[in-house]
Each structure stands twice: as structure tokens, then as C-alpha cells.
Structure 1
Amino acid sequence: MKRRATIFALPAVLAIAACEQKPAGEPVVRTELDESGPDQAEEVVDAEALPEASTEPQRASVCIAVAFEGTQLTHCIADPETHTIRTVLAPGGGQPFGSLAALADATASKTIAFAVTGGAFGDDLRALGYYVEEGERLSELDRGEGDGNFYMKPNGVFFGSGEDWRVLSTGRFFATVRDRPQFGTQSGPMLVTGGELHPDFEDDGASRTLRNGVGIDAEGHAHFVISDEPVSFGKIARFYRDEIGTKEALLLASGNSALWDPATGRLDEGRAGPILVVENKP
């Protein structure tokens, strides 16, 4: 799958100077040419009197490039103290956006930290299984049987309200969650459940494609990981269990995984149904 503007950035912002600047306080010599003769007049100007270049800080990305067992991944962290999370599918309840590029075209990026493909969908790009947007349930929880990644049991739900974000297997969600969250999306399979890898995963199986997932750590941070090259279920699950230490982690997408990171200009191509948007709090 093609990537568009695949720029990977560390949290620190790299500033590139367009030209070499004089040390602060050192006089600057301004030379003016007199068209009437060869003589030149030099004017010495105090550097402090010159207009200063804009020092407005650039936005820092919360996504970092990492390598795990020889595979390149991008790891984005949402902090409930500084971020909010919401689901989006279709503008004004109409046709789904269908891609992160369409969302970017229709959305001011000033407050957006990043966005990722965020759940299973059908041929019409609408959510399969449980889907809640702004507190409204648009699709019911799916506890049935079927083919494909979504039905690799246990599958699960990523959901939350305010600063409380959670990942639960579908069975536990059905048995324990009574209040409707502000956002929710169902997908599958679970990558990690109770600190254990999905029982059907091989260590590094032959099924490899671009994949992304989400997991919650002990401090309540949401960790979004997307592979930048094909990865197996087992490897991305081990990253969640062994490197991040999440007890519960859910696969969000396979094959159509994509990331929009406005701070770096990264905007991946690919089809999207439900989209998870992480925004900076005011």
C-alpha cells in the first residue's frame, strides 16, 4: 500500500535555519550601491535594532518512530490530561469520509494531535459491530460468529468518556459496561487480554500486512501503534505486552491501517471506516 508524505518525527521539533545568523548584539554592515559612481557607502546598524525573525514555536509530534524485532513502527501516545479522543465516520451523518485524506481536507488541523483508522467496517465503509459517536450509538455490539479478523475471538471494544479510556474483550464489555460511553468502536482480534497474547497467534506468523492497534497502560494513557511495514499479529502483540506493558490491547485495522500526523505532515493513504481522532485540549 502506498504511503503519502511518510515523514517520521521524534517528539523534539527540528528547526532548519535558512541562513546563518550573526551573533546577538554584533553590528550588521549594510552596504548600499550608488548608481552614479563606484563609491560605496557603508552604514553600521545595531543588530538589536533590526526586526527579529518569528520565534513562534512549532508543534511537536506525539508520535515517534521505533524499531521492534527488526520491524519499523510508529508509536503515538494520547495522555488523558492533555488530549481528548473521539470517533468520526461521516460528516453530518452523510457518506463516510472513507479516508484520512478526506478527513484532513474537511477539518482544521490546528487542534488535532493525530488520527488513525479506528475499527472494522463493511463494503459501505460503515462500522461493523459496536460504534458510538458523541454519545450516540450508531451500531450495535456484534457477538456473533463469522470469518475474518473481526471474528477472531476474543475480539473487543475501545471506548471511553472524558479522561477514562478502556479496552475490553467483547464478552467482558457486554457483561460489565452499563453506561453508554462518549465514543466506542469494536474491532478484532484482541492482541493482548489479561496480559496474555491472543491464543491463536504464532510468534511471527505468515500473515503479514500493515496493522495498527490501541492499548491502555496502567496510567491510563492510550498507546496507538501502526506498522510502517508488514507485520505479523504476534509481533505487534508482543510490542504491546513486552515494550508498553499493556494488559489489554486491540487490533484496530489490518491492510488499511493509516495515520494522519499534522505536526509532521504525514498523511497515509488507504480506505477508512471509523476514524479515531486525538485532539489537544485547549
Structure 2
Amino acid sequence: MKTRIKRRLGLAVGALIATVLPAVADICEKRDFDGQGYVICTLTAEQEPGLRLWLNGPDGQVLGDFSSLRKTLGAGEVLGFAMNAGMYHADYRPVGLYVSDTETAGQLVTGASNDNFGMLPNGVFCTGGARPYQVIESRAFASAQPECRLATQSGPMLVIDGALHPRFLVDSDSRYVRNGVGVSADGQTAWFAISDRAVTFHEFGRLFRDGLRARDALYFDGSVSRLYAPALNRADFGRRLGPIIGYTETE
């Protein structure tokens, strides 16, 4: 019975991939860096309008997974990729700031705490403002109050002005599957990455700083990290998610 179910799921995913592949084939790729495997989804400035943040569906209930998200898309819309986009409370509310085109939830948090979110400096990923993509340290964000079409806060920062977070340890034994976002120095490119296997903060930060040459990068989460990338035959499932970020195109 289990074998039949797996076969049916595989056929269903395969049919989905065949449907959406032409529009999104070049966004996500597998890449190795320093002995670790990652999936990296790259967006240019021209693609920024297609980037979206989701939390709740039209009924006001949290979406929680990629399948529910896809059901909210309009006619002809294709989901190129999606991943979890920040930490959340037990009721799925964002821990920090969350701003989308149609919804605002959570407030900017600038204080330190003992968890990853409060491992200062933390930051905000902001799109559609003065530059297409920005990762801004949270206290600087509070001071500048930049315009953002989308904004999601998380922590810690992985890369700050070209330097790794000062608390990352080369020999750390804290390893998780991790995901996050990095931005080029000119703000014209954003890289969304997830590790294939458990990695340390130091390893993940080096992917952005040394592998992608990101000027700034922000950690989204670990252990709950999930990716939807149809061109790679991937649709992760598991724990329900809070904020989700993703890219859509219209066929």
C-alpha cells in the first residue's frame, strides 16, 4: 500500500512539474560549496514584482504549507519557488515585522534575546523600496524606516556589510538544515538558499559571503526549513509554516 501511495505521489508531482517547468526552469539550481550541497534560487531586479509574501489565505486562516498556498494563486499564475520566510509563534504569527502587499502582521523587534532571532544583529529583508532588494540590520531599519513593498524580519544576520556574524564559530556543533536570503552589494540580485543537509551557521554564512558574494544576508530558520521548487522536482512537507516567501509568474 505504501509503495502504491508513493508511486501515485510521484506521478502527481511529475505532472505538476511538467505543467510549470517552462516558466520557472532557470530560477533554482543545485550547487555545491565547500563540501556542502545547497539549492539556490536567484531573482534579478526585473523579477522583484513577482516576489510575494504569504501568511493567511482569503479565509483569514494561516496557509501553513505550499499546497494550500498554490490553491490561492490566480488563473495562469505559476509558483516558481517558495520557502519559509522567518520565525513564528505557536499560532503561526510572525515573531517580528511582516509586511506584504495586502497584509501586515507583527512589529519590528530590536532587542536581544537568547534565541536565534534575538542573536543581534538581526535584520529585515525588504523589497521594492529604494533598491529592489535589501537586507537591513533591524536597528538601522527602525531608524531609517525605509519604504518596503514586502518585509520580513528574522535573525540572526548571516552576513553584515561583507562580514560574517561575529558570534558564528568555525567549530560549532549546532547543525541544522537552514535557509535564508542574501543580497548583492548593488541590491539588484537576491539569492534564496537552503542546505541539503545540516550545516552550521558559519558554513551557511560562508555560502553567502564567499560562495555568492552577498554583501548582506539574513537567516530565515533551521530544522523547519522547507522548499518548493518544481523545476527540481521538489515539494517539501513537514511541520506547518508561518510566513512563506515565493516567486510567481503568469503564463
TM-score by length of 1: 0.74
For 1:165 and 1:65, locate their aligned partners in 2 and report how far apart those are by CA, in whole Å.
22
Cross-structure match for 1:275: 244
Cross-structure match for 1:90: 56
For the Cα contact (< 8 Å) 2:54–2:245, is it kept in 1?
Answer: yes
3-state DSSP class of the match of 2:67? Answer: helix
CA displacement, residues 7-27 of structure 1 (integer Å, 9 cap, x when unaligned): xxxxxxxx9xxxxxxxxxxxx
The offset of 1:205, in angstroms, is: 1.5
Aligned-partner residue type, residue 265 of structure 1: N
CA displacement, residues 44-69 of structure 1 (integer Å, 9 cap, x when unaligned): xxxxxxxxxxxxx8341411111112
For 2:181 and 2:189, locate their aligned partners in 1 and report how far apart those are by CA, in whole Å.
10
Cross-structure match for 1:155: 122
The higher radius of gyration belongs to: 1
Aligned residues: 228
Cα distance change on mapping 1:222 and 1:127 into 2, 3 Å: same
For 1:229 and 1:176, locate their aligned partners in 2 and report how far apart those are by CA, in whole Å.
37
Cα distance change on mapping 1:61 and 1:105 into 2, 3 Å: farther
Cα distance change on mapping 1:206 and 1:167 into 2, 3 Å: same
User: Percent identity over the alignment?
Assistant: 35
Cross-structure match for 1:207: 174
For 1:112 and 1:154, locate their aligned partners in 2 and report how far apart those are by CA, in whole Å.
32
- In structure 1, stretches of 5+ residues that fail to align are 6-14, 16-56
Aligned-partner residue type, residue 190 of structure 2: A
Runs of 4+ in structure 1 deviating by more than 4 angstroms, as ranges, are none
Match of 1:131 among 93, 98, 118: 98
Larger helix proportion, structure 1 or 2?
2
The offset of 1:102, in angstroms, is: 2.6
Aligned-partner residue type, residue 128 of structure 2: S
For 1:135 and 1:274, locate their aligned partners in 2 and report how far apart those are by CA, in whole Å.
13
- In structure 2, stretches of 5+ residues that fail to align are 1-8, 11-17
Aligned-partner residue type, residue 158 of structure 2: L
For the Cα contact (< 8 Å) 2:28–2:232, is it kept in 1?
Answer: no
Match of 1:67 among 32, 37, 47: 32
The offset of 1:204, in angstroms, is: 4.4
Aligned-partner residue type, residue 67 of structure 2: A
Match of 1:58 among 2, 14, 22: 22
Cross-structure match for 1:226: 194
3-state DSSP class of the match of 2:41? Answer: strand
The offset of 1:93, in angstroms, is: 5.8
The offset of 1:218, in angstroms, is: 3.1
The offset of 1:98, in angstroms, is: 1.4
Cross-structure match for 2:45: 80
Match of 2:69 among 93, 100, 103: 103
For 1:249 and 1:144, locate their aligned partners in 2 and report how far apart those are by CA, in whole Å.
19
For the Cα contact (< 8 Å) 1:86–1:276, is it kept in 2?
Answer: yes
TM-score by length of 2: 0.83
CA displacement, residues 188-228 of structure 1 (integer Å, 9 cap, x when unaligned): 00000011100000124211011001011134111011001
For the Cα contact (< 8 Å) 1:96–1:125, is it kept in 2?
Answer: yes
3-state DSSP class of the match of 2:204? Answer: helix
Cross-structure match for 2:218: 250
For the Cα contact (< 8 Å) 2:29–2:232, is it kept in 1?
Answer: no
3-state DSSP class of the match of 1:145? Answer: coil
Q: Give the alignment's Cα RMSD to 1 decimal.
A: 2.3
Match of 1:262 among 215, 227, 230: 230
CA displacement, residues 119-173 of structure 1 (integer Å, 9 cap, x when unaligned): 1101111111101011643221011232311111001000112771110110111
